[in-house]
């Protein structure tokens, strides 16, 4: 996988991740999106389309935080891959409860709004801010945004496909 090196490449990669999940989500029946099914990923897990979408909303929120406060100094560990994954796992239950009464249309709207906010914040950063040449290519803000977006959306896409097969 080629790492993005410009804002436009990053925007294209983020949009591609968003679009892939949108296509699969668009085929979820509104009367089934809360049905729980056991999927096989890493371990046995019970999930629904709603739970998957809420987890992506959580990831969008964390990516927005990263894009707003990213600094290469001491706070950088707050946005390391391990820390972000642990934070997502820890916050997932709270987000699931918070959005438990939302219908599929509301969740899709919230997801689209989060996606647009991520794209907007990337568009407002300069290439230098996103891909600081004095920083390791793997540690730049742009690379982190791309990594966390791709990871979250690829995981959600895989889970959504598995969920749909079981349903």
The domain locations on the chain are: 7-18+45-68+75-166
String of b and e for 43-58 (b: at least 16 CB within 10 Å)?
Answer: eeeebbbbbbbbbbbb
String of b and e for 88-117 (b: at least 16 CB within 10 Å)?
Answer: beebeeebeeebeebebeebbebbeebbee
Give pLDDT tens digits along the chain (167 positions): 678 889 999 999 999 999 999 999 999 999 999 999 988 765 657 899 999 999 999 999 999 999 988 655 555 567 788 899 999 999 999 999 999 999 999 999 999 999 999 999 999 999 999 999 998 888 889 999 999 999 999 999 999 999 999 88
pTM: 0.91
């Amino acid at each position: 996988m080629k790492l993005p090196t410009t804002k436009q490449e990053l925007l294209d990669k983020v949009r591609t991740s968003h679009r892939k999940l949108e296509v699969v989500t668009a085929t979820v029946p509104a009367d089934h999106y809360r049905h729980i099914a056991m999927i096989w990923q890493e371990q046995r897990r019970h999930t629904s389309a709603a739970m998957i979408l809420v987890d992506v909303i959580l990831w969008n929120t964390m990516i927005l935080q990263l894009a707003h406060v990213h600094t290469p100094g001491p706070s950088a560990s707050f946005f390391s891959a391990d820390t972000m994954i642990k934070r997502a796992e820890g916050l997932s239950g709270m987000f699931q409860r918070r959005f438990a009464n939302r219908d599929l249309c509301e969740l899709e709207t919230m997801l689209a709004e989060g996606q647009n906010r991520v794209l907007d914040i990337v568009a407002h950063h300069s290439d230098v801010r996103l891909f600081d040449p004095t920083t390791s290519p793997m540690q730049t803000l742009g690379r982190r945004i791309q990594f966390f977006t791709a990871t979250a959306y690829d995981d959600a896409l895989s889970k959504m496909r598995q969920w749909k097969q079981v349903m």
